[in-house]
Structure 1
Amino acid sequence: MERNIRRTLRDNGLEPTSILTALGETRSLISGLLPVAALFPGRFKPNDVDIYCPEEEEGYMLHILQNRMGFHLHKGVDVRYPKHSTITKIYWLTTKSAKVNLMVVKGNNAAIAIFQFHSTIVMNILCFHGLYCTYADLTLAGERLINSSYLHDGARAVKCIEKYEDRGFTFKKKLGDYERYADHECGENASCPTTVRTLHDGHSIFYPLKVHLTGGTRPAMATKYTSFDGKHSVVWSLGGPLCGLGTTYHSAFATSIELHNKTEEGGETDA
Protein backbone atom coordinates (compact mmCIF):
# COMPACT_ATOMS: atom_id res chain seq x y z
CA MET A 1 0.00 0.00 0.00
CA GLU A 2 2.87 2.40 0.71
CA ARG A 3 3.96 2.07 -2.91
CA ASN A 4 0.41 2.82 -4.08
CA ILE A 5 0.21 5.91 -1.88
CA ARG A 6 3.53 7.33 -3.04
CA ARG A 7 2.77 6.59 -6.69
CA THR A 8 -0.62 8.27 -6.40
CA LEU A 9 0.96 11.38 -4.89
CA ARG A 10 3.56 11.51 -7.69
CA ASP A 11 0.88 10.96 -10.34
CA ASN A 12 -0.84 14.07 -8.98
CA GLY A 13 2.30 16.20 -9.17
CA LEU A 14 3.32 15.95 -5.51
CA GLU A 15 6.72 14.82 -4.25
CA PRO A 16 5.72 12.28 -1.56
CA THR A 17 8.22 13.14 1.18
CA SER A 18 7.70 16.88 0.78
CA ILE A 19 3.92 16.79 1.02
CA LEU A 20 3.84 14.20 3.82
CA THR A 21 6.28 16.30 5.82
CA ALA A 22 4.09 19.36 5.24
CA LEU A 23 1.06 17.44 6.50
CA GLY A 24 2.89 16.46 9.66
CA GLU A 25 4.22 19.93 10.38
CA THR A 26 0.79 21.55 10.07
CA ARG A 27 -1.45 18.75 11.43
CA SER A 28 -3.15 18.66 8.05
CA LEU A 29 -4.44 15.77 5.96
CA ILE A 30 -5.46 14.80 2.45
CA SER A 31 -8.90 13.41 1.74
CA GLY A 32 -11.37 13.35 -1.13
CA LEU A 33 -10.59 11.27 -4.19
CA LEU A 34 -6.81 10.90 -3.81
CA PRO A 35 -6.89 8.34 -0.94
CA VAL A 36 -9.55 6.41 -2.89
CA ALA A 37 -7.24 6.40 -5.91
CA ALA A 38 -4.49 4.92 -3.72
CA LEU A 39 -6.87 2.21 -2.49
CA PHE A 40 -7.94 1.37 -6.06
CA PRO A 41 -4.82 1.78 -8.27
CA GLY A 42 -5.59 2.65 -11.88
CA ARG A 43 -9.32 3.06 -11.30
CA PHE A 44 -9.46 6.74 -10.37
CA LYS A 45 -7.70 9.84 -11.61
CA PRO A 46 -8.24 12.87 -9.34
CA ASN A 47 -8.40 16.25 -11.05
CA ASP A 48 -6.90 17.91 -7.99
CA VAL A 49 -5.78 17.26 -4.42
CA ASP A 50 -7.85 18.27 -1.41
CA ILE A 51 -5.80 19.24 1.66
CA TYR A 52 -7.56 19.97 4.95
CA CYS A 53 -5.77 22.27 7.36
CA PRO A 54 -6.78 23.54 10.84
CA GLU A 55 -7.32 27.30 10.77
CA GLU A 56 -4.49 27.96 13.23
CA GLU A 57 -2.03 26.42 10.72
CA GLU A 58 -3.47 28.21 7.67
CA GLY A 59 -0.63 30.71 7.28
CA TYR A 60 2.13 28.16 7.81
CA MET A 61 0.67 25.70 5.29
CA LEU A 62 0.37 28.46 2.69
CA HIS A 63 4.00 29.37 3.39
CA ILE A 64 5.13 25.76 2.90
CA LEU A 65 3.17 25.26 -0.30
CA GLN A 66 4.39 28.50 -1.88
CA ASN A 67 7.93 28.91 -0.59
CA ARG A 68 9.04 25.32 -0.12
CA MET A 69 7.04 23.42 -2.73
CA GLY A 70 6.76 26.08 -5.45
CA PHE A 71 2.99 26.47 -5.62
CA HIS A 72 1.38 29.61 -7.02
CA LEU A 73 -1.58 30.99 -5.07
CA HIS A 74 -4.44 31.96 -7.39
CA LYS A 75 -7.10 32.97 -4.92
CA GLY A 76 -8.70 32.27 -1.59
CA VAL A 77 -12.35 32.72 -0.77
CA ASP A 78 -14.61 32.49 2.23
CA VAL A 79 -17.13 29.75 1.60
CA ARG A 80 -20.66 28.93 2.60
CA TYR A 81 -20.87 25.18 2.88
CA PRO A 82 -23.99 23.51 4.34
CA LYS A 83 -24.64 24.39 7.97
CA HIS A 84 -23.13 21.11 9.17
CA SER A 85 -19.73 21.87 7.58
CA THR A 86 -16.73 23.31 9.43
CA ILE A 87 -14.88 24.41 6.27
CA THR A 88 -14.48 28.18 6.38
CA LYS A 89 -12.17 29.02 3.47
CA ILE A 90 -10.66 27.49 0.32
CA TYR A 91 -7.40 28.41 -1.43
CA TRP A 92 -6.55 27.32 -4.98
CA LEU A 93 -2.86 26.70 -5.66
CA THR A 94 -1.04 25.20 -8.65
CA THR A 95 2.31 24.19 -10.04
CA LYS A 96 2.94 23.03 -13.61
CA SER A 97 1.95 19.51 -12.61
CA ALA A 98 -0.29 19.82 -9.54
CA LYS A 99 -3.49 21.50 -8.43
CA VAL A 100 -4.29 21.79 -4.73
CA ASN A 101 -7.46 22.88 -2.98
CA LEU A 102 -6.48 23.96 0.52
CA MET A 103 -9.52 23.69 2.77
CA VAL A 104 -9.29 25.63 6.02
CA VAL A 105 -11.20 23.92 8.82
CA LYS A 106 -12.55 25.72 11.86
CA GLY A 107 -10.81 24.79 15.12
CA ASN A 108 -7.67 22.72 15.67
CA ASN A 109 -8.81 19.37 14.26
CA ALA A 110 -9.01 19.18 10.47
CA ALA A 111 -10.34 15.61 10.55
CA ILE A 112 -13.78 16.78 11.66
CA ALA A 113 -14.50 17.96 8.11
CA ILE A 114 -13.98 14.44 6.73
CA PHE A 115 -16.97 13.09 8.61
CA GLN A 116 -19.22 15.81 7.23
CA PHE A 117 -18.73 14.47 3.68
CA HIS A 118 -21.57 13.07 1.59
CA SER A 119 -20.79 9.37 1.98
CA THR A 120 -18.45 6.74 3.39
CA ILE A 121 -16.45 6.31 0.17
CA VAL A 122 -14.56 9.56 0.81
CA MET A 123 -14.20 9.19 4.58
CA ASN A 124 -10.52 8.31 4.34
CA ILE A 125 -7.54 10.19 5.75
CA LEU A 126 -4.04 10.40 4.32
CA CYS A 127 -1.87 11.90 7.04
CA PHE A 128 1.89 12.15 7.42
CA HIS A 129 2.34 8.60 8.69
CA GLY A 130 -0.33 6.63 6.86
CA LEU A 131 -3.67 6.16 5.19
CA TYR A 132 -6.72 5.51 7.32
CA CYS A 133 -9.86 3.95 5.79
CA THR A 134 -12.72 4.42 8.24
CA TYR A 135 -15.35 2.28 6.53
CA ALA A 136 -13.03 -0.31 5.05
CA ASP A 137 -15.54 -3.20 4.88
CA LEU A 138 -17.78 -1.10 2.67
CA THR A 139 -15.20 0.86 0.69
CA LEU A 140 -13.01 -2.06 -0.32
CA ALA A 141 -16.12 -3.93 -1.49
CA GLY A 142 -17.19 -1.02 -3.69
CA GLU A 143 -20.11 -0.16 -1.41
CA ARG A 144 -21.05 3.06 0.35
CA LEU A 145 -23.61 4.70 2.59
CA ILE A 146 -24.76 8.31 2.61
CA ASN A 147 -24.28 10.75 5.46
CA SER A 148 -27.80 11.50 6.70
CA SER A 149 -26.99 15.23 6.64
CA TYR A 150 -27.31 14.98 2.85
CA LEU A 151 -30.57 13.02 2.73
CA HIS A 152 -32.58 16.22 2.34
CA ASP A 153 -30.01 18.09 0.25
CA GLY A 154 -31.46 16.96 -3.08
CA ALA A 155 -29.37 18.29 -5.98
CA ARG A 156 -26.09 18.35 -4.06
CA ALA A 157 -26.51 14.77 -2.84
CA VAL A 158 -27.52 13.45 -6.26
CA LYS A 159 -24.44 15.01 -7.89
CA CYS A 160 -22.13 13.41 -5.31
CA ILE A 161 -23.86 10.04 -5.62
CA GLU A 162 -23.72 9.94 -9.41
CA LYS A 163 -20.02 10.81 -9.42
CA TYR A 164 -19.15 7.52 -7.73
CA GLU A 165 -21.90 5.37 -9.23
CA ASP A 166 -20.31 6.14 -12.60
CA ARG A 167 -17.11 4.63 -11.19
CA GLY A 168 -18.80 1.37 -10.18
CA PHE A 169 -19.69 1.99 -6.53
CA THR A 170 -23.11 0.99 -5.25
CA PHE A 171 -25.08 3.28 -2.97
CA LYS A 172 -27.52 2.59 -0.12
CA LYS A 173 -29.19 4.73 2.53
CA LYS A 174 -29.18 2.00 5.20
CA LEU A 175 -26.65 -0.75 5.88
CA GLY A 176 -29.40 -3.38 5.99
CA ASP A 177 -30.17 -2.65 2.34
CA TYR A 178 -27.03 -4.63 1.51
CA GLU A 179 -27.91 -8.32 1.65
CA ARG A 180 -24.79 -9.33 3.54
CA TYR A 181 -25.71 -6.90 6.31
CA ALA A 182 -29.40 -7.80 6.48
CA ASP A 183 -29.04 -9.24 10.00
CA HIS A 184 -26.52 -6.77 11.42
CA GLU A 185 -27.03 -5.16 14.83
CA CYS A 186 -28.06 -1.60 14.07
CA GLY A 187 -26.14 0.99 16.05
CA GLU A 188 -23.46 -1.57 16.97
CA ASN A 189 -21.98 -2.77 13.68
CA ALA A 190 -19.02 -0.55 12.78
CA SER A 191 -20.31 -0.10 9.21
CA CYS A 192 -23.78 1.01 10.30
CA PRO A 193 -24.30 4.77 9.83
CA THR A 194 -26.11 5.08 13.17
CA THR A 195 -23.18 3.59 15.10
CA VAL A 196 -21.08 6.07 17.08
CA ARG A 197 -17.50 5.74 15.86
CA THR A 198 -14.08 7.13 16.77
CA LEU A 199 -10.78 7.27 14.92
CA HIS A 200 -9.27 5.08 17.63
CA ASP A 201 -11.98 2.40 17.96
CA GLY A 202 -10.01 -0.26 16.04
CA HIS A 203 -12.82 -0.89 13.51
CA SER A 204 -11.02 0.46 10.47
CA ILE A 205 -7.87 -0.23 8.47
CA PHE A 206 -4.68 1.81 8.82
CA TYR A 207 -1.87 1.52 6.26
CA PRO A 208 1.31 2.95 7.86
CA LEU A 209 3.98 4.93 6.02
CA LYS A 210 7.68 5.07 6.85
CA VAL A 211 7.97 8.82 7.28
CA HIS A 212 10.12 10.75 9.74
CA LEU A 213 9.69 14.45 10.27
CA THR A 214 12.46 16.94 10.79
CA GLY A 215 13.24 18.05 14.31
CA GLY A 216 13.32 14.56 15.77
CA THR A 217 9.57 13.92 15.64
CA ARG A 218 8.97 10.20 15.33
CA PRO A 219 5.59 9.09 13.99
CA ALA A 220 3.65 6.21 15.47
CA MET A 221 4.18 3.09 13.38
CA ALA A 222 1.47 0.97 14.97
CA THR A 223 -0.76 -1.09 12.68
CA LYS A 224 -3.75 0.18 14.67
CA TYR A 225 -4.38 3.83 13.89
CA THR A 226 -4.97 6.12 16.86
CA SER A 227 -4.50 9.77 15.94
CA PHE A 228 -3.66 11.52 12.69
CA ASP A 229 -1.64 14.21 14.48
CA GLY A 230 -0.73 12.61 17.82
CA LYS A 231 -3.16 14.83 19.73
CA HIS A 232 -6.68 14.63 18.38
CA SER A 233 -9.32 12.11 17.46
CA VAL A 234 -12.91 12.42 16.27
CA VAL A 235 -16.18 10.99 17.54
CA TRP A 236 -18.88 10.82 14.89
CA SER A 237 -22.04 9.19 13.62
CA LEU A 238 -23.54 9.44 10.14
CA GLY A 239 -27.02 9.21 11.61
CA GLY A 240 -30.21 8.38 9.77
CA PRO A 241 -33.10 5.99 10.43
CA LEU A 242 -32.44 2.82 12.38
CA CYS A 243 -32.54 -0.17 10.04
CA GLY A 244 -36.08 -1.55 10.00
CA LEU A 245 -37.35 1.30 12.20
CA GLY A 246 -38.07 4.16 9.84
CA THR A 247 -39.67 6.25 12.58
CA THR A 248 -36.55 6.22 14.79
CA TYR A 249 -34.04 8.75 13.47
CA HIS A 250 -30.56 9.64 14.71
CA SER A 251 -28.91 12.94 13.77
CA ALA A 252 -25.42 12.97 12.27
CA PHE A 253 -22.62 14.63 14.23
CA ALA A 254 -18.83 14.91 14.40
CA THR A 255 -16.83 16.36 17.27
CA SER A 256 -13.16 16.63 18.20
CA ILE A 257 -11.63 15.01 21.28
CA GLU A 258 -8.11 15.15 22.67
CA LEU A 259 -6.01 12.09 23.41
CA HIS A 260 -3.87 12.19 26.53
CA ASN A 261 -2.49 8.70 27.22
CA LYS A 262 0.89 7.82 25.70
CA THR A 263 2.48 4.47 25.00
CA GLU A 264 6.09 3.72 25.86
CA GLU A 265 6.88 3.79 22.14
CA GLY A 266 5.69 7.36 21.78
CA GLY A 267 2.38 6.64 20.06
CA GLU A 268 -1.06 7.38 21.38
CA THR A 269 -3.23 4.87 23.18
CA ASP A 270 -6.99 4.66 23.06
CA ALA A 271 -8.64 7.48 24.92
Structure 2
Amino acid sequence: MPLTQTPFIRILTEVMDNMFDVMALDVLQSFGSACKAHRKWVIEYLRRRKRCLLAKFIADLASFDDTLRATSSVISGSVALQFLLPQDATRWPSTDLDIYTTAAGYKGVADALLCEKYILISTGSSRPCYTQSTIRTVFTFAKGGLRIDVVISASACAILPIFQFHSTIVMNYLSADSFFSAYPLFTNQFRGLVNPMSMKDGRHTMKVVCALVKYENRGFSINASANDWESEDEEEHECRDNVCCPHYIRATNDVACARVVLEESASVQSEDWDAGDDVVMWRLGGETCDEADNASVPYVFVL
Protein backbone atom coordinates (compact mmCIF):
# COMPACT_ATOMS: atom_id res chain seq x y z
CA MET A 1 0.00 0.00 0.00
CA PRO A 2 1.50 3.39 -0.98
CA LEU A 3 2.55 5.50 1.97
CA THR A 4 0.22 8.34 0.98
CA GLN A 5 -2.79 6.02 1.34
CA THR A 6 -2.05 4.49 4.73
CA PRO A 7 -4.59 5.13 7.53
CA PHE A 8 -1.88 6.89 9.56
CA ILE A 9 -1.13 9.39 6.78
CA ARG A 10 -4.84 10.03 6.22
CA ILE A 11 -5.38 10.69 9.95
CA LEU A 12 -2.28 12.88 10.15
CA THR A 13 -3.45 14.89 7.13
CA GLU A 14 -6.85 15.44 8.75
CA VAL A 15 -5.23 16.56 12.02
CA MET A 16 -2.89 18.95 10.21
CA ASP A 17 -5.74 20.35 8.13
CA ASN A 18 -7.80 21.02 11.27
CA MET A 19 -4.82 22.84 12.78
CA PHE A 20 -4.17 24.84 9.60
CA ASP A 21 -7.87 25.81 9.34
CA VAL A 22 -7.47 28.20 12.28
CA MET A 23 -4.22 29.76 11.01
CA ALA A 24 -3.95 32.92 8.95
CA LEU A 25 -1.70 32.81 5.90
CA ASP A 26 1.19 34.61 7.62
CA VAL A 27 1.20 32.01 10.41
CA LEU A 28 1.14 29.21 7.83
CA GLN A 29 4.11 30.83 6.11
CA SER A 30 6.06 30.90 9.39
CA PHE A 31 5.22 27.27 10.05
CA GLY A 32 6.24 26.29 6.53
CA SER A 33 9.58 28.07 6.74
CA ALA A 34 10.78 25.82 9.59
CA CYS A 35 11.83 22.89 7.41
CA LYS A 36 11.17 21.10 4.11
CA ALA A 37 8.62 18.75 5.67
CA HIS A 38 6.62 21.66 7.08
CA ARG A 39 6.82 23.48 3.76
CA LYS A 40 5.44 20.44 1.95
CA TRP A 41 2.55 20.12 4.42
CA VAL A 42 1.64 23.80 4.06
CA ILE A 43 1.81 23.88 0.27
CA GLU A 44 -0.30 20.73 -0.07
CA TYR A 45 -2.83 22.20 2.37
CA LEU A 46 -3.02 25.49 0.46
CA ARG A 47 -3.52 23.67 -2.79
CA ARG A 48 -6.38 21.70 -1.23
CA ARG A 49 -7.82 24.98 0.12
CA LYS A 50 -7.74 26.44 -3.37
CA ARG A 51 -9.44 23.38 -4.86
CA CYS A 52 -12.16 23.47 -2.20
CA LEU A 53 -12.84 27.18 -2.72
CA LEU A 54 -13.15 26.80 -6.49
CA ALA A 55 -14.80 23.36 -6.66
CA LYS A 56 -18.36 24.70 -6.66
CA PHE A 57 -17.55 26.95 -9.64
CA ILE A 58 -15.10 24.92 -11.70
CA ALA A 59 -15.24 21.15 -12.27
CA ASP A 60 -11.98 20.73 -14.20
CA LEU A 61 -9.64 22.92 -12.16
CA ALA A 62 -6.45 21.61 -13.80
CA SER A 63 -7.70 22.63 -17.23
CA PHE A 64 -8.93 25.97 -15.89
CA ASP A 65 -5.52 26.66 -14.34
CA ASP A 66 -4.02 26.10 -17.78
CA THR A 67 -6.40 28.74 -19.10
CA LEU A 68 -5.41 31.21 -16.36
CA ARG A 69 -1.73 30.66 -17.21
CA ALA A 70 -2.25 31.02 -20.95
CA THR A 71 -4.28 34.22 -20.60
CA SER A 72 -2.41 35.76 -17.61
CA SER A 73 -5.74 35.93 -15.77
CA VAL A 74 -6.38 35.89 -12.02
CA ILE A 75 -9.21 35.24 -9.56
CA SER A 76 -10.03 37.96 -7.05
CA GLY A 77 -12.89 39.09 -4.80
CA SER A 78 -14.32 37.13 -1.87
CA VAL A 79 -12.73 33.83 -2.90
CA ALA A 80 -9.21 35.28 -2.79
CA LEU A 81 -9.98 36.88 0.58
CA GLN A 82 -11.17 33.54 1.96
CA PHE A 83 -7.89 31.99 0.85
CA LEU A 84 -5.92 34.58 2.85
CA LEU A 85 -7.84 34.33 6.13
CA PRO A 86 -8.24 31.30 8.42
CA GLN A 87 -10.89 28.97 7.04
CA ASP A 88 -12.75 28.96 10.35
CA ALA A 89 -13.12 32.76 10.14
CA THR A 90 -14.57 32.84 6.61
CA ARG A 91 -17.71 30.71 6.70
CA TRP A 92 -19.79 33.15 4.69
CA PRO A 93 -21.49 31.69 1.57
CA SER A 94 -20.02 32.42 -1.84
CA THR A 95 -22.09 32.23 -5.02
CA ASP A 96 -20.06 34.51 -7.27
CA LEU A 97 -16.54 34.46 -8.67
CA ASP A 98 -14.55 37.32 -10.19
CA ILE A 99 -12.00 36.66 -12.92
CA TYR A 100 -9.73 39.47 -14.11
CA THR A 101 -8.24 39.26 -17.57
CA THR A 102 -7.26 41.37 -20.57
CA ALA A 103 -8.99 41.98 -23.89
CA ALA A 104 -6.57 39.52 -25.47
CA GLY A 105 -7.25 36.90 -22.80
CA TYR A 106 -11.04 37.13 -22.77
CA LYS A 107 -11.75 34.56 -25.49
CA GLY A 108 -9.70 31.88 -23.73
CA VAL A 109 -11.46 32.50 -20.41
CA ALA A 110 -14.91 32.62 -22.05
CA ASP A 111 -14.29 29.35 -23.92
CA ALA A 112 -13.23 27.66 -20.67
CA LEU A 113 -16.42 28.82 -18.91
CA LEU A 114 -18.60 27.65 -21.78
CA CYS A 115 -16.91 24.24 -21.50
CA GLU A 116 -17.92 24.30 -17.83
CA LYS A 117 -21.57 24.72 -18.98
CA TYR A 118 -21.83 28.39 -18.03
CA ILE A 119 -24.10 30.63 -20.10
CA LEU A 120 -23.23 34.19 -21.07
CA ILE A 121 -26.02 36.35 -19.64
CA SER A 122 -24.42 39.77 -20.22
CA THR A 123 -22.87 40.81 -23.50
CA GLY A 124 -20.41 43.14 -21.88
CA SER A 125 -21.61 46.20 -20.06
CA SER A 126 -19.21 48.99 -19.28
CA ARG A 127 -18.71 49.56 -15.56
CA PRO A 128 -17.63 53.21 -15.05
CA CYS A 129 -17.80 52.88 -11.24
CA TYR A 130 -14.82 55.16 -10.64
CA THR A 131 -13.73 58.56 -11.89
CA GLN A 132 -10.80 57.01 -13.76
CA SER A 133 -11.78 53.37 -13.97
CA THR A 134 -9.19 50.82 -15.06
CA ILE A 135 -12.04 48.47 -16.04
CA ARG A 136 -12.84 48.29 -19.73
CA THR A 137 -15.93 46.08 -19.56
CA VAL A 138 -17.51 43.19 -17.65
CA PHE A 139 -19.03 39.96 -19.02
CA THR A 140 -21.28 37.90 -16.76
CA PHE A 141 -21.71 34.13 -16.96
CA ALA A 142 -24.17 32.03 -14.95
CA LYS A 143 -24.93 28.39 -14.18
CA GLY A 144 -27.74 27.51 -11.80
CA GLY A 145 -27.34 29.81 -8.81
CA LEU A 146 -23.68 30.52 -9.58
CA ARG A 147 -22.38 33.66 -11.25
CA ILE A 148 -18.96 34.50 -12.69
CA ASP A 149 -17.98 38.04 -13.66
CA VAL A 150 -15.15 38.27 -16.18
CA VAL A 151 -13.64 41.74 -15.75
CA ILE A 152 -11.65 43.07 -18.70
CA SER A 153 -8.83 45.41 -17.73
CA ALA A 154 -8.50 48.65 -19.67
CA SER A 155 -4.78 47.91 -20.03
CA ALA A 156 -2.64 44.92 -20.96
CA CYS A 157 -2.25 44.20 -17.22
CA ALA A 158 -5.09 42.05 -15.86
CA ILE A 159 -4.51 42.92 -12.19
CA LEU A 160 -4.63 46.72 -12.55
CA PRO A 161 -8.35 47.10 -11.55
CA ILE A 162 -7.75 45.22 -8.28
CA PHE A 163 -6.00 48.28 -6.84
CA GLN A 164 -9.12 50.40 -7.38
CA PHE A 165 -11.27 48.11 -5.21
CA HIS A 166 -13.38 49.70 -2.48
CA SER A 167 -10.89 48.86 0.29
CA THR A 168 -7.60 47.12 1.02
CA ILE A 169 -9.51 44.09 2.32
CA VAL A 170 -10.09 42.72 -1.17
CA MET A 171 -6.79 43.68 -2.83
CA ASN A 172 -5.81 40.03 -3.23
CA TYR A 173 -5.76 37.55 -6.10
CA LEU A 174 -5.15 33.91 -6.96
CA SER A 175 -3.33 32.97 -10.14
CA ALA A 176 -2.91 29.45 -11.46
CA ASP A 177 0.23 28.92 -9.36
CA SER A 178 0.37 31.60 -6.68
CA PHE A 179 -1.43 33.96 -4.33
CA PHE A 180 -0.89 37.68 -3.77
CA SER A 181 -2.13 40.12 -1.11
CA ALA A 182 -1.37 43.85 -1.10
CA TYR A 183 -2.25 44.48 2.58
CA PRO A 184 -1.90 41.13 4.41
CA LEU A 185 -1.08 42.70 7.80
CA PHE A 186 -4.26 44.77 8.01
CA THR A 187 -6.43 42.11 6.40
CA ASN A 188 -5.30 39.38 8.80
CA GLN A 189 -6.33 41.74 11.62
CA PHE A 190 -9.76 42.18 9.98
CA ARG A 191 -8.92 45.79 9.22
CA GLY A 192 -9.25 47.66 5.96
CA LEU A 193 -8.49 51.11 4.58
CA VAL A 194 -11.15 52.65 2.38
CA ASN A 195 -9.84 53.39 -1.11
CA PRO A 196 -10.32 56.95 -2.48
CA MET A 197 -9.75 55.53 -5.98
CA SER A 198 -13.17 53.88 -5.72
CA MET A 199 -14.87 57.28 -5.64
CA LYS A 200 -16.79 58.72 -8.58
CA ASP A 201 -16.82 62.50 -8.84
CA GLY A 202 -15.50 62.80 -5.29
CA ARG A 203 -18.13 60.52 -3.72
CA HIS A 204 -18.57 56.82 -3.08
CA THR A 205 -21.26 55.22 -5.21
CA MET A 206 -24.09 53.25 -3.62
CA LYS A 207 -22.49 50.04 -4.91
CA VAL A 208 -19.25 50.83 -3.06
CA VAL A 209 -21.11 51.78 0.12
CA CYS A 210 -23.02 48.47 0.02
CA ALA A 211 -19.74 46.57 -0.42
CA LEU A 212 -18.19 48.33 2.59
CA VAL A 213 -21.27 47.56 4.71
CA LYS A 214 -21.14 43.92 3.62
CA TYR A 215 -17.60 43.50 4.88
CA GLU A 216 -18.30 45.39 8.09
CA ASN A 217 -21.13 42.91 8.69
CA ARG A 218 -18.55 40.13 8.25
CA GLY A 219 -16.51 41.52 11.13
CA PHE A 220 -14.11 43.92 9.39
CA SER A 221 -13.22 47.36 10.72
CA ILE A 222 -12.90 49.83 7.82
CA ASN A 223 -11.36 53.29 8.28
CA ALA A 224 -9.80 56.04 6.19
CA SER A 225 -6.61 56.22 8.28
CA ALA A 226 -4.50 53.85 10.36
CA ASN A 227 -4.71 56.44 13.14
CA ASP A 228 -8.33 55.43 13.64
CA TRP A 229 -7.12 52.15 15.17
CA GLU A 230 -4.73 53.86 17.55
CA SER A 231 -4.78 52.39 21.06
CA GLU A 232 -2.70 52.66 24.21
CA ASP A 233 -0.54 49.69 23.29
CA GLU A 234 0.16 50.85 19.71
CA GLU A 235 2.48 53.55 18.42
CA GLU A 236 0.84 56.51 16.75
CA HIS A 237 0.74 56.11 12.99
CA GLU A 238 3.23 58.33 11.15
CA CYS A 239 1.56 59.65 8.02
CA ARG A 240 3.51 58.85 4.82
CA ASP A 241 6.30 57.08 6.75
CA ASN A 242 4.55 53.78 7.42
CA VAL A 243 4.29 51.19 4.64
CA CYS A 244 0.63 50.61 5.56
CA CYS A 245 -0.18 54.32 5.32
CA PRO A 246 -2.62 55.18 2.49
CA HIS A 247 -0.18 57.92 1.38
CA TYR A 248 2.82 55.61 1.13
CA ILE A 249 3.80 54.74 -2.45
CA ARG A 250 3.43 50.98 -2.80
CA ALA A 251 4.41 48.39 -5.41
CA THR A 252 3.47 44.76 -5.96
CA ASN A 253 7.08 43.71 -5.39
CA ASP A 254 7.58 45.47 -2.04
CA VAL A 255 8.12 43.70 1.27
CA ALA A 256 4.69 44.60 2.67
CA CYS A 257 2.94 42.36 0.13
CA ALA A 258 2.36 38.64 0.66
CA ARG A 259 3.42 36.36 -2.18
CA VAL A 260 2.85 32.62 -1.91
CA VAL A 261 3.88 30.11 -4.55
CA LEU A 262 1.68 27.01 -4.63
CA GLU A 263 4.33 24.60 -5.83
CA GLU A 264 6.11 21.90 -3.85
CA SER A 265 9.47 22.86 -5.33
CA ALA A 266 9.09 26.52 -4.37
CA SER A 267 9.42 28.42 -1.13
CA VAL A 268 6.18 29.00 0.76
CA GLN A 269 6.87 32.72 0.56
CA SER A 270 8.74 33.95 -2.47
CA GLU A 271 10.93 36.95 -1.63
CA ASP A 272 11.79 37.50 -5.28
CA TRP A 273 9.56 38.96 -7.94
CA ASP A 274 9.65 37.37 -11.37
CA ALA A 275 11.17 39.93 -13.72
CA GLY A 276 8.63 38.88 -16.35
CA ASP A 277 5.67 39.89 -14.15
CA ASP A 278 4.02 43.27 -14.38
CA VAL A 279 4.89 45.50 -11.44
CA VAL A 280 2.02 47.74 -10.38
CA MET A 281 2.62 50.89 -8.34
CA TRP A 282 -0.17 52.62 -6.46
CA ARG A 283 -1.03 55.10 -3.77
CA LEU A 284 -4.43 55.12 -2.07
CA GLY A 285 -4.04 58.82 -1.24
CA GLY A 286 -6.85 61.02 -0.02
CA GLU A 287 -6.93 63.23 3.07
CA THR A 288 -3.78 63.00 5.18
CA CYS A 289 -3.79 60.97 8.40
CA ASP A 290 -2.54 63.94 10.47
CA GLU A 291 -5.28 66.30 9.19
CA ALA A 292 -2.76 68.50 7.39
CA ASP A 293 -3.87 70.45 4.33
CA ASN A 294 -1.79 68.47 1.86
CA ALA A 295 -3.95 65.62 0.58
CA SER A 296 -2.19 63.23 -1.80
CA VAL A 297 -3.53 62.26 -5.20
CA PRO A 298 -4.55 58.58 -5.60
CA TYR A 299 -3.09 56.73 -8.57
CA VAL A 300 -2.28 53.29 -9.97
CA PHE A 301 -0.13 52.41 -12.98
CA VAL A 302 1.98 49.61 -14.45
CA LEU A 303 5.76 49.80 -14.70
TM score, norm. by length of structure 2: 0.74
2:298 aligned residue:
252
Quick check: 1:36–1:44 contact (8 Å CA) kept in 2? no
Measured against aligned partners, the alpha-carbon deviations of 1:158-210 in whole angstroms (never above 9, x if no partner) come to 21210101100011111111116652332232211111111111212122213
Query: Is 1:179 matched with 2:225?
Result: no
Give ranges in structure 1 of 5+ residues lacking alignment: 212-217, 258-271
Which has the higher Rg, Structure 1 or Structure 2? 2
**Is 1:232 aligned to residue 278 of structure 2?**
yes
1:146 to 2:194 alignment: yes
Kept in 2: contact 1:28–1:54 (CA 8 A): yes
Provide the C-alpha distance between the structure 1 equivalents of 2:241 and 2:302, rounded to a whole number of angstroms: 21
Alpha-carbon RMSD across the aligned residues, in angstroms, is 2.5
Match of 1:27 among 63, 66, 72: 72
Secondary structure of 2:203's partner?
coil
Superposed CA deviations along residues 89-137 of structure 1, whole A, max 9, x for unmatched, are: 1111234574211111112101110001110011001112111111011
Gaps of 5+ in 2: 1-45
SS at match of 1:38: helix
Could you say if the C-alpha distance between residues 230 and 44 of structure 1 is closer, same or farther in structure 2, counting changes exceeding 3 Å? Answer: farther
- Any idea what the Cα deviations from partners look like across 1:226-261, whole Å, max 9, x if unmatched? 25x94312000111122113421011111011xxxx
Residue 5, structure 1, aligned to residue 56, structure 2: no
Name the structure where helix makes up a greater proportion of residues: 2
Q: In structure 2, how many angstroms separate the alpha carbons of the residues matched to 1:220 and 1:71?
A: 36
Return the structure number with greater strand share: 1
Q: Is 1:243 aligned to residue 289 of structure 2?
A: yes
1:80 maps to 127
1:268 maps to none
Percent identity (aligned): 26
2:84 alignment partner, one of 39, 42, 45: 39
Pairing 1:1-271 to 2, within 5 Å after superposition: 1-40=46-85, 41=87, 42-67=90-115, 69-81=116-128, 82-96=130-144, 98-149=146-197, 150=199, 152-153=203-204, 155-179=206-230, 182-210=235-263, 223-224=270-271, 226=273, 230-257=276-303
SS of the aligned residue for 2:279 comes to: strand
CA change 1:18–1:219 in 2 (3 A) is: farther
**Within 1, Cα distance between the matches of 2:61 and 2:175?**
11
Q: Which deviates further from its counterpart, 84-93 or 113-122?
A: 84-93
User: Are the structure 2 counterparts of residues 163 and 236 from structure 1 closer, same or farther at C-alpha, using a change threshold of 3 Å?
Assistant: same
Amino acid at match of 1:252: P
